[in-house]
Amino acid sequence: MLKEQLSSDPNWWKKAVFYQIYPRSFKDSNGDGIGDLPGIIEKLDYLNGTPDSLGIDAIWFNPFFVSPDKDHGYDVADYCDIDPRFGTLEDFDRLVEECHKRGIRVMLDLVVNHTSDRHPWFQQSRSSRDNPYRDWYIWRDGRDGGKRPPNNWKSHFSGPAWTWDEKTGQYYLHSFLKEQPDLNWFNPEVRKAIYQVVRFWLERGADGFRLDVAHAYCKDQQFRDNPPYHQRLKLKGTVPLRERSLEMVMLNILGAPKYHLPETHQILREIRNILNEYPAKTSIGEIQCDDPAVVASYYGQNNDELHMNFYFDLTNCHKWKAAAFRRYVDRWEKILPEWAWPAYTFSNHDVVRAISRFGKGEQADRRARLLALMLLTLRCTPFIYYGEEIGMKFLSLPKKLRQDPVGLRWYPFHPGRDGSRTPMQWNRSRNAGFSPGEPWLPLGPEWEKRNVEVQEQDPASLLNFYKSAIRLRKSSPALQEGSYRSVAEGMPESCYVYLREGEDQKMIVALNFGSGSVKLDLSPWPGAKQLLLSTDHRRGEETLKGTLELGPEEGCVLQLER
List of residues 6+ apart from 348 with CB closer than 8 A: 20, 315, 383, 385, 420
Nearest to 26 by CA among 46, 56, 54: 46
- Using alpha carbons, list the distances in angstroms from residue 152 to 220, 224, 506: 13, 8, 54
Nearest to 71 by CA among 411, 398, 349: 349
Element (H, E) at 477: helix 477-481
Nearest to 107 by CA among 23, 50, 35, 25: 23
Q: Is 146 left (phi over 0), alpha (psi -120 to 50) or beta?
A: left
Cβ pair 17, 384 in contact under 8 A = yes
Cβ neighbours around 458 below 10 Å, total: 12
Secondary structure of the chain: what % helix, strand, coil (to 5)?
Answer: 30, 20, 50
Residue type for position 320: W
Phi, psi (rounded to 5 degrees) for 215: -70, -15
CA distance 365 to 61: 26
Strands 139-140 and 170-173: antiparallel
Phi, psi (rounded to 5 degrees) for 230: -65, -20
Strands 282-285 and 208-211: parallel
DSSP assignment of 63-127 equals: P-EE---TTTTSS-SEEEEE-TTT--HHHHHHHHHHHHHTT-EEEEEE--SB--TTSHHHHHHTT
| DSSP three-state, residue 43 | coil
Strands 18-21 and 58-61: parallel
Among all residues, which ones are annotated catalytic? 212, 277
